[in-house]
Chains A and B, each alone.
Chain A
Amino acid sequence: MIKVGMIGAGVMGGVHAAAYGRLSNAQLTTICDLRLEKAQKLAGPGVKVVTDYHEILQNPEIDAVDVCVPTYLHKEIVLAAAAAGKHVFCEKPIALSVEDAEAMVQACEQAGVKLGIGQVVRFFPDYAKAKDLLASGRIGEPKVVRTVRGGAFPIWSEDNWYADFFKSGGPIVDLMIHDLDWLLWLFGPVERVFAKSVHIPEQAGQDPLAHSLVTLRFDNGIIAHLEGSWAQPPGSPFTTSFEIAGTKGLYEYSKENSMPLVLRTAQGEERAKFVPESPLALEPYTAQIKAFIEAVVSDSDVPVPGQEAINALQVALAACQSAKTGDVVLLGGGQND
């Protein structure tokens, strides 16, 4: 049984805490958040709550640390966790700069601890099983790929830290990174990037708006178009979709159109609420933590190691650079070497 201390009890902390409740190979023993009431809310029976993460790092009974703090705080905590000899599972994106991410990877390597990054899309079967479809040859060689991910601006963050792109990285680094990681996993290194982005900061009575359109050319010639959006009006559902066009066929997927359950209810005078649901025996966030814990137990490779997260971050930052400068950014491929 791996004992885990979780740092950060925000939205993702809640998702992870629920995941530990479903796992038999890990036990969440301590939750840390500066806002004690947030930690208390997530803590089940017997789970300790603290406001200083050093209490987790200093606890010899804790084997691994789950980092769910805002992205700009990842580095500090991961370095400290590595120094304390704790294995680290860290939410995506790994960091906001390649330098920070490399420092994290290096620190964990030197300390001899595992570092797994929560690029959870690899554990979503709708995305993961696309790899098997490609391997089957049914759509031939993949050539043109489109991904879409987005919805309303994420207004749930503490102090609205998502709106500060120096803290969140914006929709490319925070959101599109899911698709970038998945695409790199499927298709290998990227040769060049071109991107456009609009960002309209928060105005009175209106959420900020951020929308990015990115084109990638992979080393192997594949062209990909990625859309990452925090620009839908407030309350819009989060949607994802993709298509892969190959030499012998096409694979189209849309989350919206693949919902096995739609619950409609209305209470009293209110209008019907629509709640779609796509249940799985092993929910993806649980699956990714389970796989990380298994890697810790068996001392094997973690599913999304730091270096692979860096590869996706590099492409994301290249897209940001292209959007900023208006130029094509050449990665020269080989960033997976």
Chain B
Amino acid sequence: MIRVGLISLAHMHGLSYARALQSISDAQFVGIYDRDVERRDKYAKEFGVTSFENVEALLAEVDAVMICSENSLHAKYTLAAAKAGKHVLCEKPLATNLDDGNEMVRVCKEQGVLLQTAFPIRFSTPVVRAKEIIDSGAIGKIVAISGTNHGKMPPGWFLDKELAGGGAVFDHTVHVTDIMRWYLGSEVKEIYAEVDTAIHENVDIDDVGMLTMEFEDGTIATLDPSWSRPKTFPTWGDVTLKIIGTKGSLNVDAFAQSGEVFSDEVGHSQYYFWGDDADRAMVEDFVAAIREKREPRATGLDGLRATEVALAAYEAARQLKPIKLR
């Protein structure tokens, strides 16, 4: 039985990961530490697990942790867990700067603990199937990808540069960049970006962006990470990739498996997703990787690479010119 603790629910994905954990037979959800005491107690009670008063107390009781804190605290909690010999599943983006990210990857390696970046999209059944199709050679060599990871503007600390590290471009670049890297088996060589605070009022952080990348294998790609979906949009956002290969093309829409609900209670239409639960598959992979002493599907290094791209996007937008990453 692998005992797992949850550090912080600042990122509400943590709730989904916790539910997933509780459904896995060889894992045990031990408890929650959160610097927000009220939230910690509330969810510890809801899940029927221990509410820990500090990180050390939690670390003493577990084999592994899932970290869903504010982005800027990922490093602190990851390092604490690694130094205590605990495996880590860390919410994305991995870190808010490259020093932190490199340190997280290095220390986890040194300590011999697993560091997984929470990229649930890698576990979306249609996204995985697309990887199989690509690897089969059905569309030939990929030459271009246009991706989107649109969203609605999130609340709270996501809009605080210190805690979040960045806005839409930081939050929403990493998922699809990770999928592009995974599909291509190649790294981003160069990036250009337009970044702005445009859609939302009284916000001090970027809410729109448009990234253009070139990969080392020559593939060209763009990515729209904007928080450009209005409050009335039928769902939270999207993850899409339109892939052009030399022999064919492949459109991926990770959340297309849904129907449309029209409810007078809600006042606007909503997509009702009926596809597989990617969060659960990701947490299963975390537990299985620990058990089998293998690398998870998306490692800390994968998280670091995607973070590098997001940070370089800001630099390109500042300098108004493409930035070379490697």
**Chain A contact residues, CB within 8 Å of chain B:** 139, 143-144, 146, 192, 194-198, 200, 209, 211, 213, 215, 217, 221, 223, 225, 227, 229, 231-233, 236, 245-250, 326-328
Contacts and interface: CB of A to CB of B under 8 A. Distances in A.
Interface in B146-204: 146, 148, 190, 192, 194, 196, 198-201
Contact of A250 (B146, B229, B248): B229
Contacts of B51: none
A163 B129 CA distance: 34
Contacts, number: 104
- Chain B: number of interface residues, binned into ranges: 35 or more
Contacts of B148: 146
18 contacts: A144-B210, A194-B192, A198-B144, A215-B192, A215-B210, A223-B194, A223-B209, A225-B222, A225-B224, A227-B222, A229-B244, A232-B249, A233-B249, A245-B199, A249-B232, A328-B192, A328-B320, A328-B321
A59 to B, nearest CB: 47
B220 A197 contact: yes
B143 interface: yes
Interface string B209-239: 1101010000011101010111011000000
B256 to A, nearest CB: 12
B146 to A, nearest CB: 6
Given A143-B198, A146-B224, A196 B232 contact: no
B214 A196 contact: yes
Contacts of B322: 194, 326-328
B247 interface: yes
B89 interface: no
B199 A211 contact: no
Contact of A248 (B143, B224, B230, B321): B230
B298 interface: no
B220 A144 contact: no
B7 interface: no
B220 A217 contact: no
B246 interface: yes
B144 A249 contact: no
A217 B194 contact: yes
B206 to A, nearest CB: 11
Given A211-B144, A246-B199, A143 B192 contact: no
Interface string B5-16: 000000000000
Contact of B212 (A196, A200, A217, A232): A196
Contact of A213 (B199, B222, B230): B222
Contacts of B198: 143-144, 221, 223, 247
B228 A245 contact: yes
Contacts of A194: 192, 194, 212, 322
Nearest to A140: B199
B241 interface: no
Given A223-B209, A231-B249, 10 more contacts: A143-B196, A144-B198, A215-B194, A225-B146, A225-B222, A231-B244, A245-B226, A247-B198, A250-B233, A326-B322
B58 interface: no
Among B144, B196, B212, B232, which residue has the most Cβ atoms of chain A within 10 A? B144
A143 B249 contact: no
B208 interface: yes
Interface string B248-280: 110000000000000000000000000000000
Contact of A143 (B199, B214, B221, B244): B199
Interchain residue pairs A-B with the least CB separation, the first 10: A245-B228, A196-B220, A143-B198, A198-B143, A211-B144, A213-B222, A231-B244, A249-B230, A223-B194, A233-B248
Given A197-B220, A328-B320, A211 B230 contact: no
A221 B196 contact: yes
B228 A250 contact: yes
Nearest to A252: B233
Nearest to A330: B320
A297 B65 CA distance: 77
Contacts of A249: 230, 232
Given A211-B143, A245-B226, A143 B208 contact: yes
Contacts of A143: 196, 198-199, 208, 228
Contacts of A326: 190, 322
Contacts of A328: 192, 320-322
Interface string B301-326: 00000000000000000001110000
B246 A213 contact: no
Contacts of A221: 196, 198
Nearest to B213: A196
Nearest to B148: A146
A218 B200 CA distance: 19
A192 B228 CA distance: 21
A209 B140 CA distance: 12
A245 B233 CA distance: 11
A213 B220 contact: yes
Contacts of B208: 143-144, 223, 245
Contacts of B221: 213
Contacts of A236: 249
B194 A213 contact: no
